[in-house]
């Protein structure tokens, strides 16, 4: 589960929902669902009831929603677990009149479904249009209000696509397009760096900071996170539970997940260090902007020093060029330099 | 080992008690019952699981006071008659009881001579009859009755005369809960934790009167105050949270539990383990003797090696029920390892050691438990409540806690240099992440369970730290899948057990760091040549063992903690074999969570 300011994104979502009285939640879970179940349980800690349904194969969002068919009745909301929604957004949908979808403006409309709106209602959706095809910058935020008739629409939809089901519902009747603020997509890793740095506060309780270390105010430290002698943790950084920043290391504007380790004198900036990953002594993630390719799309000039995937290792003295992404279980050997994308389970040697 | 719950307040007592029984079901589950305070008393009881009682009982009642019980048989078959509560002939007094009344036979003869008619075969039933003969208010009657009882008991009694529950404790745990407009009684906190977290643990010899607005406690006739503590246990912990079984939930809780176990206990800069145990206690003794039962015993076997290695001290682990007392009491530190802190065999071994003059330490999961109270020092493993009868996360937390104690002992005895201590501590802090990594392979373990699950028998082998893990792996499988499983030191195979090995008996070999894997390799070859399939758990960089085995699971590199990671694979294997066979995983036949009878 991806953390922002030391709480999983999903937890921020649950809190927003609970705050405005949405207290019956159905989680559609699949990949690594055990972590989610272990974290949230029955939802008692958040004052909500959580029921789990399992999506065995990840066949898209419409398919995911279908899994909940037996678990919901009447009106319900559909919310993504990996983008942040605030309470005003949820309230706007709750007060809508029947079916509705949250729409918002985006600088990158080509990443999303662009919504064509007529008279406050959905008239059509263009999925990931090419730049010159995008008619507006109003995009589908992926937060919906439906009643259980939507399940029929999904069954009828092309490849069980939720967008297609949305268009069908809009053709059959009115689907209100609710303009919202307070939606933050975190689907790209550089989003995580940016969103995290905006969200962190000065929560240092429960961490173990050596008296000679410097920890800036806008830093969130998890339970039993360690900051060693003479280490520096700069603003915009989250250090997760039981994670370690070694002696003399410098970490800034980064998200360090639970159990991850930054070795002595390492430098880590604008980076994401995933669960139980490790950056060795004197290793460098210098930080800064780079062009990053994801799924064949080029994203220019994004602020991303680097990503170290779950259980991956950057060994002593190694360097990540800006924009480097190490997938899970990969390794950059002692003194080696990595750039671009390093596949899961592979090793970069000097 | 059974569960007790009691309620006195303004609301209908029946749903509160039935809900408490559901939560206590893990403590015992062959029959259950409730007694509601009406005039005369109303008793509903039933052989079988709590659900059968719920079916048999009405949905609501007028009563605002009552007690309930879920039973694991020691005296008398699990029948409707033998289920608690037990009452006297006139339904004036009713009792639920945990423990064993040793002199029940003579009391029963005596009562029968005086014309009492017994309805059950239980030891417990003497108590309501004795209560009916005694004089005064209920609390005075119980005070007189316990004078006559020998053995161990947690008793909760109600009478038809007034809304109050009166309880007595001797060698069997009992807690009272302080609510807002109600008060509670339980054999453990789980019984009522959803209603209140403010509790008082009763001591041996205590008698308490619990009414809706007061809790009074006496010991030996003197009024006493028992401290009110707040438990940080979460109701959530006692729910399944989307998992099919508590056991699987608890297996997956291990990373979180382990983070709590090590939290604020390691100073890697100075190479110190930060525990509440005094350095003198660790430094002064020349011998360590671990006493424990079941899974805790396996944790103790693991720990004894770590103590010898880190603290350079002679250490042994013994089954508590086989323990004959310390050899040289003054020089010996006796460490009781018990999840519940109430395991009768372990308590009795520890008491014996203390009587003979040894210093005692408890390593337990349960704050306020008897073991914690009676020993000189206590170290908590902080695993959180464990409901599944088959212990999983508490084993992991026990081993890591004991490793911390071993490091502390090594430092206190000047046997472990700070730099080495620091690296061991760094490994201990890496255990949670490494366990998560193992858990991520659950699908492969499930496939392996399907492949071998229907074979005839299962043998687990390992050396050194792999040996206790082999024992633990086999125990898990026995407990929940009912398969024949045995753990052996790998080198012992050829001295006998090899005769049992056939192509239909898979051998699970623990071959990580800390288990002398190269030597075990020879034993693996021995069983392979008899056609047995081999499932090996190896280090991340081991090649030879991996080539030989039919199925290989790898653990992240983590020194002496690698066998602990291997154990996580074996837990998942046991779970998935049992699931394949549709066993009642959280409630295996004949077993109870913690055994408070010797």
pLDDT confidence band for B596 (50 / 70 / 90): low
Q: Which of B22, B478, B587, B593 is catalytic?
A: B593
Whether B241 shows a pLDDT value over 80: the answer reads no
pLDDT confidence band for B374 (50 / 70 / 90): very high
**Which residues in chain B touch residue A247, judged by CB atoms under 8 angstroms apart?**
269
Does the distance separating the beta carbons of A40 and B259 come in below 8 Å?
no
Residue of B nearest to A263 (CA): B426
Secondary structure percentages of chain A, helix, strand, coil, to 5: 20, 35, 45
Beta strand segments in B160-227, E: 162-170, 175-178, 183-186, 198-201, 206-210, 215-219, 222-224
Over the stretch B391-427, which tens digit does the pLDDT of each residue have? Answer: 999 999 999 999 999 999 999 999 999 999 999 999 9
**Measuring CA to CA, which residue among B427, B24, B313, B409 is closest to residue B192?**
B24
Residue of A nearest to B540 (CA): A329
pLDDT, averaged across chain A: 90
Does the distance separating the beta carbons of A210 and B262 come in below 8 Å?
no
Over the stretch B249-298, which tens digit does the pLDDT of each residue have? Answer: 999 999 999 999 998 899 988 999 999 898 999 999 999 999 999 999 99
At B586 the pLDDT is: 85
- Dist CA A129 CA A102 (whole Å): 19
Does the distance separating the beta carbons of B242 and A27 come in below 8 Å?
yes
Does the distance separating the beta carbons of A242 and B263 come in below 8 Å?
yes
3-state secondary structure of B441: coil
Looking at the complex, report in whole angstroms how far the Cα of residue A309 sits from the nearest Cα belonging to chain B.
12
Of A37, A210, A276, the CB nearest to B433: A276
Of B240, B242, B259, the CB nearest to A241: B259
pLDDT confidence band for B67 (50 / 70 / 90): very high
Report the run of H or E that residue B567 belongs to, with start and end.
Answer: helix B562-580
Whether A205 shows a pLDDT value over 90: the answer reads no
At A105 the pLDDT is: 87
Of B240, B241, B436, the CB nearest to A276: B436
Over the stretch A128-162, which tens digit does the pLDDT of each residue have? Answer: 877 666 667 888 998 999 998 899 999 988 778 88
Whether B594 shows a pLDDT value over 70: the answer reads no
Residue appearing with tokens 């060698």: B171
- Pairing mode of beta strands A176-179, B151-159: unpaired
Mean pLDDT, residues B539-562 taken together: 89
pLDDT confidence band for B38 (50 / 70 / 90): very high
Of A40, A224, A259, the CB nearest to B433: A259
| Residue percentage of chain B with pLDDT more than 90 | 72
Over the stretch B337-372, which tens digit does the pLDDT of each residue have? Answer: 999 898 999 999 999 999 999 999 999 998 878 899
Q: Enumerate residues 6+ apart whose C-beta is below 8 A from B82.
A: B31, B47, B71, B73, B75, B76, B120, B121, B122
**Residue B99 · residue B126 · CB < 8 Å:** no
Looking at the complex, report in whole angstroms how far the Cα of residue A348 sits from the nearest Cα belonging to chain B.
17
pLDDT confidence band for B544 (50 / 70 / 90): confident
**Residue A178 · residue A93 · CB < 8 Å:** yes
**Which residues in chain A touch residue B240, judged by CB atoms under 8 angstroms apart?**
42
Whether A108 shows a pLDDT value over 90: the answer reads no
At B74 the pLDDT is: 65
**Which residues in chain A touch residue B268, judged by CB atoms under 8 angstroms apart?**
226, 228, 244
pLDDT confidence band for A30 (50 / 70 / 90): confident
Over the stretch B495-515, which tens digit does the pLDDT of each residue have? Answer: 988 889 999 999 999 999 999
- Pairing mode of beta strands A267-269, A250-252: parallel
B45 catalytic, yes or no? Answer: no
Does the distance separating the beta carbons of A42 and B242 come in below 8 Å?
yes
Number of CB pairs, chain A paired with chain B, less than 8 A apart = 87
**Which residues in chain B touch residue A275, judged by CB atoms under 8 angstroms apart?**
433, 436
Question: What strands lie across the sheet with B215-219, from one edge to the other?
Answer: B86-87, B93-101, B151-159, B162-170, B206-210, B215-219, B222-224
**Best residue in B419, B432, B433, B440 for a mutation probing chain A (most A CBs within 10 Å):** B433
pLDDT confidence band for B234 (50 / 70 / 90): low
Q: Which of B2, B35, B65, B293 is catalytic?
A: B2
**Which residues in chain A touch residue B404, judged by CB atoms under 8 angstroms apart?**
none
Q: Enumerate residues 6+ apart whose C-beta is below 8 A from B15.
A: B60
Of A34, A208, A224, the CB nearest to B439: A34
Does the distance separating the beta carbons of B269 and A224 come in below 8 Å?
no
Q: How many C-beta atoms lie closer than 10 Å to residue A116's C-beta? A: 15
Mean pLDDT, residues B198-227 taken together: 92
**Best residue in A34, A67, A273, A311 for a mutation probing chain B (most B CBs within 10 Å):** A34
Whether A324 shows a pLDDT value over 60: the answer reads yes
Whether B593 shows a pLDDT value over 80: the answer reads no
Q: Could you tell me which residue, B55 or A110, shows the higher pLDDT?
A: B55
Mean pLDDT, residues A195-222 taken together: 90
Residue of A nearest to B241 (CA): A41
Q: Which fold has domain A3-187?
A: Spore Coat Polysaccharide Biosynthesis Protein SpsA; Chain A (3.90.550)
What string of DSSP letters covers B364-420? ES-TT-HHHHHSSEEEE-------SSS--HHHHHHHHHHHHHHHHHHHHTT-S-HHH
Residue of A nearest to B237 (CA): A41
Does the distance separating the beta carbons of B440 and A224 come in below 8 Å?
no
At A111 the pLDDT is: 80
A230, with CB counted inside 10 A (0-12, 13-18, 19+), is middle
| Residue percentage of chain B with pLDDT more than 70 | 96
What string of DSSP letters covers A78-131? E--TTEEE-HHHHHHHHTSSSSEEEEEE-S-GGGSEEEEEETTEEEEEEES--G
At B336 the pLDDT is: 97
CATH 2.60.120.260 fits A191-348, yes or no: no
Over the stretch B103-132, which tens digit does the pLDDT of each residue have? Answer: 999 999 999 999 999 999 888 999 999 999
Over the stretch B478-492, which tens digit does the pLDDT of each residue have? Answer: 999 999 999 999 999
pLDDT, averaged across chain B: 91
At B595 the pLDDT is: 65
**Measuring CA to CA, which residue among A339, A299, A335, A341 is closest to residue A316?**
A335
All structural domains of chain B? 3-237 (3.60.20.10), 240-438 (3.40.50.10490), 442-580 (3.40.50.10490)
Helices B442-452 and B562-580, packing angle to 10 deg:
50
Cα dist from B72 to B32, B97, B154, B295, whole Å: 9, 11, 14, 20
Q: Enumerate residues 6+ apart whose C-beta is below 8 A from A122.
A: A101, A115, A116, A166, A167, A170, A175, A176, A177
Whether A32 shows a pLDDT value over 90: the answer reads no
Instruction: Give the end-to-end CA distance of chain A in Å, rounded to a whole number.
Output: 32
Q: Where does CATH 2.160.10.10 sit in chain A?
A: 191-348
Q: Where does CATH 3.90.550.10 sit in chain A?
A: 3-187
Mean pLDDT, residues A4-13 taken together: 89
At B326 the pLDDT is: 93
Residue of B nearest to A278 (CA): B430
At B547 the pLDDT is: 82
At A101 the pLDDT is: 93
**Best residue in A68, A224, A313 for a mutation probing chain B (most B CBs within 10 Å):** A224
**Which residues in chain A touch residue B235, judged by CB atoms under 8 angstroms apart?**
44
Whether B224 shows a pLDDT value over 70: the answer reads yes
Helices B466-481 and B562-580, packing angle to 10 deg:
20
Does the distance separating the beta carbons of A242 and B433 come in below 8 Å?
yes
Q: Enumerate residues 6+ apart whose C-beta is below 8 A from B187.
A: B2, B3, B4, B5, B24, B27, B98, B154, B172, B173, B174, B175
Mean pLDDT, residues A295-301 taken together: 84
B476 catalytic, yes or no? Answer: no
Over the stretch A220-245, which tens digit does the pLDDT of each residue have? Answer: 999 999 999 999 999 999 999 999 99
Does the distance separating the beta carbons of B268 and A42 come in below 8 Å?
no
Does the distance separating the beta carbons of A38 and B253 come in below 8 Å?
yes
**Which residues in chain B touch residue A37, judged by CB atoms under 8 angstroms apart?**
241-243, 249, 252
Whether B432 shows a pLDDT value over 80: the answer reads yes
**Best residue in B241, B430, B432, B571 for a mutation probing chain A (most A CBs within 10 Å):** B241
């Amino acid at each position: 589960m991806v953390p922002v300011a030391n709480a999983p994104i999903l937890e921020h979502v649950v809190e927003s929902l609970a705050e405005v009285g949405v207290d019956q939640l159905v989680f559609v879970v699949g990949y690594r669902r055990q972590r989610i179940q272990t974290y949230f349980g029955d939802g008692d800690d958040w004052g909500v009831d959580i029921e789990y349904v399992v999506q065995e194969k990840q066949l898209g969002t419409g398919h995911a929603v279908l899994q909940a068919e037996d678990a919901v009745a009447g009106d319900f909301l559909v919310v993504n677990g990996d983008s942040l929604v605030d309470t005003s957004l949820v309230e706007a949908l709750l007060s809508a009149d029947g079916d509705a979808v949250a729409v918002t403006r985006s600088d990158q409309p080509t990443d999303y479904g662009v919504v064509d709106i007529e008279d406050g209602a959905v008239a059509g959706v263009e999925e990931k249009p090419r730049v010159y095809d995008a008619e507006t910058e109003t995009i589908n935020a992926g937060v919906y209000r439906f009643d259980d008739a939507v399940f029929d629409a999904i069954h009828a939809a092309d490849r069980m696509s939720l967008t297609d089901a949305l268009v069908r519902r809009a053709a059959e009747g009115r689907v209100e397009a609710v303009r919202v603020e307070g939606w933050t997509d975190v689907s790209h890793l550089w989003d995580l760096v940016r969103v995290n740095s905006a969200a962190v506060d000065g929560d240092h309780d429960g961490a173990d900071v050596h008296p000679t270390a410097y920890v800036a105010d806008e830093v969130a430290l998890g339970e039993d996170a360690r900051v060693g002698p003479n280490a520096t943790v700069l603003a915009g950084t989250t250090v997760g539970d039981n994670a370690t920043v070694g002696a003399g290391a410098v970490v800034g504007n980064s998200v360090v997940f639970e159990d991850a380790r930054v070795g002595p004198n390492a430098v880590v900036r604008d980076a994401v260090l995933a669960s139980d990953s490790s950056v060795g002594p004197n290793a460098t993630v210098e930080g800064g902007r780079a062009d990053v390719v994801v799924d064949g799309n080029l994203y220019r000039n994004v602020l991303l020093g680097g990503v170290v995937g779950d259980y991956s290792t950057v060994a002593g003295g190694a360097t990540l060029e800006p924009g480097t992404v190490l997938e899970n279980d990969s390794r950059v050997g002692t003194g080696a330099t990595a750039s671009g994308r390093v596949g899961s389970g592979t090793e970069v040697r000097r | 080992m059974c569960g007790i719950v009691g309620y006195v307040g303004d609301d209908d007592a029946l749903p509160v008690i039935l809900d408490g029984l559901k939560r206590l079901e893990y403590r015992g589950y062959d029959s259950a019952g409730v007694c509601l305070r009406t005039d005369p008393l109303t008793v509903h009881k039933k052989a079988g699981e709590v659900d059968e009682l719920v079916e048999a009982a009405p949905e609501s009642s007028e009563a605002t006071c009552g007690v309930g019980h879920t039973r694991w048989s020691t005296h008398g078959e699990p029948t409707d008659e033998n289920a608690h509560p037990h009452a006297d002939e006139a339904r004036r007094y009713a009792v639920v009881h945990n423990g064993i009344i040793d002199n029940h036979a003579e009391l029963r003869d005596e009562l029968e001579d005086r014309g009492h008619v017994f309805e059950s075969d239980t030891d417990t039933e003497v108590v309501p009859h004795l209560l009916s003969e005694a004089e005064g208010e209920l609390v005075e009657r119980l005070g007189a009755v316990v004078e006559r009882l020998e053995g161990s008991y947690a008793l909760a009694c109600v009478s038809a005369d007034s809304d109050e529950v009166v309880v007595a404790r001797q060698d069997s745990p009992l807690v009272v809960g302080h609510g807002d407009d109600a008060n509670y009684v339980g054999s453990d906190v789980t019984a009522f934790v959803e209603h209140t977290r403010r509790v008082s643990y009763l001591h041996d010899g205590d008698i308490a009167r619990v009414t809706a607005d007061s809790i009074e406690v006496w010991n030996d006739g003197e009024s006493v105050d028992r401290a009110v503590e707040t438990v940080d246990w979460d109701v959530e912990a006692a729910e399944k949270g989307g998992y099919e079984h508590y056991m699987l939930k608890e297996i997956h809780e291990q990373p979180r539990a382990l983070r709590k176990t090590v939290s604020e206990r390691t100073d890697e800069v100075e190479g110190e383990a930060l525990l509440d145990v005094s350095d003198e206690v660790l430094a002064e003794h020349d011998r360590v003797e671990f006493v424990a039962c079941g899974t805790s015993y396996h944790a103790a076997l693991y720990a004894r090696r770590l103590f010898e290695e880190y603290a350079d001290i002679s250490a042994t682990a013994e089954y508590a029920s086989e323990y004959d007392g310390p050899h040289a009491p003054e020089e010996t530190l006796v460490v009781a390892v018990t999840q519940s802190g109430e395991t009768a065999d372990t308590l009795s071994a520890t008491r014996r050691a203390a009587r003979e003059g040894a210093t005692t330490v408890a390593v337990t999961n349960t704050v306020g438990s008897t073991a914690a109270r009676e020993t000189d020092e206590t170290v908590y493993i902080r695993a959180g409540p464990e409901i599944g009868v088959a212990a999983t996360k508490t084993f992991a937390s026990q081993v890591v806690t004991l490793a911390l104690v071993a490091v502390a002992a090594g430092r206190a005895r000047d046997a472990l240099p700070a730099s080495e201590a620091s690296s061991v501590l760094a490994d201990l802090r890496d255990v949670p992440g490494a366990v998560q990594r193992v858990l991520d392979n659950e699908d492969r373990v499930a496939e392996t369970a399907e492949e071998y699950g229907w074979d005839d028998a299962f043998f687990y082998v390992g050396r050194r730290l792999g040996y206790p893990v082999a024992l633990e792996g086999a125990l898990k499988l026995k407990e929940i899948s009912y398969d024949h499983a045995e753990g052996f030191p790998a080198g012992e195979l050829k001295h006998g057990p090899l005769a049992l090995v056939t192509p239909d008996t898979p051998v699970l070999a623990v071959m990580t760091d800390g288990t002398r894997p190269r030597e075990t390799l020879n034993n693996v070859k021995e069983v392979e040549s008899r056609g047995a399939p081999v499932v090996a758990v190896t280090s991340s960089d081991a090649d030879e063992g991996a080539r030989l085995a039919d199925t290989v699971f790898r653990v992240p590199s983590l020194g002496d903690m690698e066998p602990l990671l291997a154990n996580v694979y074996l837990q998942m294997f046991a779970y998935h074999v049992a699931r394949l066979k549709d066993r009642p995983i959280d409630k295996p036949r004949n077993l109870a969570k913690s055994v408070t009878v010797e």
